[in-house]
Structure 1
Amino acid sequence: AEIQTCGFLCLGPMMFHHRAVGDRIHLSHGCRHAKRAKGTFRDGLVFSNRPVRVNERIRLRIENVIGRWHGALRVGFTNVNPDSRNLPLPKMAIPDLTCTPGHWATVLDETFCKAGTELEFWRSSKGNLYVSNNILDEHRLLPKEINVRGPLWAMIDLYGQTCSIVLLGRCHVCHITISFSLLLPSSDILVPQLLSFYGASCLLMTDAEEQMICVVCLDRQAQNPLPCGHCCLCLKCSFKIFKSFGTCPLCRQSMGTPVINWVAAP
């Protein structure tokens, strides 16, 4: 299969904005996991770190819910840049933000947001808001007409029962699906063993440092510091990204020259 790669128009990985978060929100796993304190049902606002394109699907999984609260996740969009928001943020998306210009959000039913449910929401070129999940296997057209002129950021409110979510991978930003499993040919003799882009000493991490998840596979631990300072790739994905792109997936700076040992395959 022919491999296509993102060009300079790619906006990069989807994460939560690192600063514009509710008072009771804690971000982890490279700003892909958001958790609201269990002692409250509000103060759970988060925003995407970058604008969202037309028909780009924001995929997330409900990690944990608390049954003693009423209500659940609220999702939507805003044309207000998270960088420009003053802290502390409002308590809730609805009605605190939706009563102000440039904010559109809708309420998701509790039955639609059970623990383990995977959700997708997106907006069309006509300004319609859509949402679907993997359990009910249906799409819902929500009656929210969004102003699509100009950039829009995703807006999520961890409200009520919903207290923990994680963003899932699979980038459709450039309308291209990249299959990393096709980037490297298999070998029956030798396999690459990527040590580091600085050397093996850079892989040492203190117990106090937070474990980050690889932004490519969203599975293994990111443990390979790049020359730009980002530690966002696991060893396996580091080699694949280096061979195919040669730049950091977050800032597009050069990945430099890796330290590679070739060892016999088991």
Structure 2
Amino acid sequence: MGRADHDKKTDPKTTCKCGSSCLGPMTFHPRAVGDMICLSEGGRRAERIEDTFKGGVVFTSRPVRTYEKIRLLVEKHVPHWQGALRVGFTNVNPSARSLPLPPFSMPNLTQTSGHWAMPVHESYCQETSVLEFWVTYSGNICVKFQNSGKQRLVANVDVRKPLWAMIDVYGQTCSVLLLGSKTKGFLFKKTSCPGPEPPIRRPSTFSLENTTLSESSDDRTSCLNMEIPADGYCVVCMVRQNDITLPCGHRCLCNHCTPRVLAQFGTCPLCRLVISPPPVMWT
């Protein structure tokens, strides 16, 4: 069977109507996910809880082609673990997998038939890093780093059968976002269905130079499940203007309530993003 015939055979059947230049959606499989993974952003984000380094295996929801370059954004990492992201491919359909998944792609899955993976060095998995990975016709796994060349693993991937991409959100890597995929055809380039722009995930620390906190204040913070008032007032006191923008992007607290909310809850009142207060003493 020729290469073109193989690619046609592995094309997923989707309801995509983008045209002949579309490869179909690029999302994570909704069911075959590690025990510590939470999917969001329409199945494009895979986030592992931070208090463990394992249980982060995920797969693409559709088969991928040879030389289909999968783009991945590293959104979040923590320094207290060793090792980082692992990427690879499998011939095993994610829909046919039994749960729970093994805690590691390497060696748990790579020691079994139909699985191939390679580790990505920690230095290439810092927050906001973007990488591409793909499998060649000869079965090698390639990873290209943003402005840093590429690496290749002679993996002998079986490209005669359908392949799903396999990603292990491991170690220091806590959250990744699928940015899509692309491949070159004979006449034009093909890409996956366009997704929404990736959200800007700001660092979880910031400065509050003009905030004050009085320990004797009678102000009380209430439940964090709130909505932004239409009149632009603080969601806590409902009196002062919401003039503080948190790292998550929500402008929902006033200058007076922000230090108390961070000290008492440590999260955004709206989206629950964990926010580390700056290393200063509140007075």
Q: Tell me the distance in 2 between the aligned counterparts of 1:43 and 1:220.
A: 24
Q: Which residue of 2 aligns with 1:51?
A: 63
Match among 123, 126, 133 for residue 114 of structure 1: 126
Aligned-residue offset at 1:67: 0.2
The residue type paired with residue 160 of structure 2 is: R
Q: Deviations over 1:207-240 (max 9, x none)?
A: xxxxxxxx6252289xxxxxxxxxxxxxxxxxxx
Q: Which residue of 2 aligns with 1:98?
A: 110
Q: Which residue of 2 aligns with 1:216?
A: 194
Q: Which residue of 2 aligns with 1:124?
A: 136
In the alignment, is residue 149 of structure 1 matched against residue 127 of structure 2? no
Q: Deviations over 1:52-98 (max 9, x none)?
A: 10100010100000100000000000000000001110000000000
Change (3 A) 1:10 1:220: closer
Structure with larger Rg = 2
Structure 2: state its 5+ residue gaps: 1-17, 200-283
Contact 1:36–1:44, Cα closer than 8 Å, also in 2: yes
Q: Secondary structure at the match of 2:106?
A: helix
In the alignment, is residue 159 of structure 1 matched against residue 170 of structure 2? yes
In the alignment, is residue 85 of structure 1 matched against residue 97 of structure 2? yes
The residue type paired with residue 216 of structure 1 is: P
Q: Tell me the distance in 1 between the aligned counterparts of 2:62 and 2:75.
A: 23
Q: Tell me the distance in 2 between the aligned counterparts of 1:171 and 1:109.
A: 24
Q: Secondary structure at the match of 2:62?
A: strand
Aligned-residue offset at 1:140: 1.0
Contact 2:140–2:154, Cα closer than 8 Å, also in 1: yes
The residue type paired with residue 55 of structure 2 is: D
Percent of aligned positions with the same letter in both sequences? 48
Change (3 A) 1:81 1:217: closer
In the alignment, is residue 67 of structure 1 matched against residue 79 of structure 2? yes
Moved more, 166-175 or 108-117: 166-175
Contact 2:88–2:116, Cα closer than 8 Å, also in 1: yes
Change (3 A) 1:146 1:69: same
The residue type paired with residue 137 of structure 2 is: S
Q: Secondary structure at the match of 1:150?
A: coil
Structure 1: state its 5+ residue gaps: 180-214, 222-266
TM-score, L = length of structure 1 = 0.63
Q: Deviations over 1:138-188 (max 9, x none)?
A: 011113221111100000000000000000035438674479xxxxxxxxx
Q: Secondary structure at the match of 1:50?
A: coil
Contact 1:63–1:166, Cα closer than 8 Å, also in 2: yes
Q: Which residue of 1 aligns with 2:180?
A: 169
Change (3 A) 1:220 1:161: closer
Q: Secondary structure at the match of 1:51?
A: coil
Q: Tell me the distance in 1 between the aligned counterparts of 2:62 and 2:93.
A: 9
Where relative contact order (Cα < 8 A, 6+ residues apart) is larger, the structure is 1
Contact 1:121–1:129, Cα closer than 8 Å, also in 2: yes
Q: Secondary structure at the match of 1:160?
A: coil
Q: Which residue of 1 aligns with 2:245?
A: none
Contact 1:11–1:173, Cα closer than 8 Å, also in 2: no
Contact 2:84–2:171, Cα closer than 8 Å, also in 1: yes
> How many corresponding residue pairs?
180
Q: Secondary structure at the match of 1:169?
A: strand
RMSD: 2.2
TM-score, L = length of structure 2 = 0.60
Q: Secondary structure at the match of 1:168?
A: strand
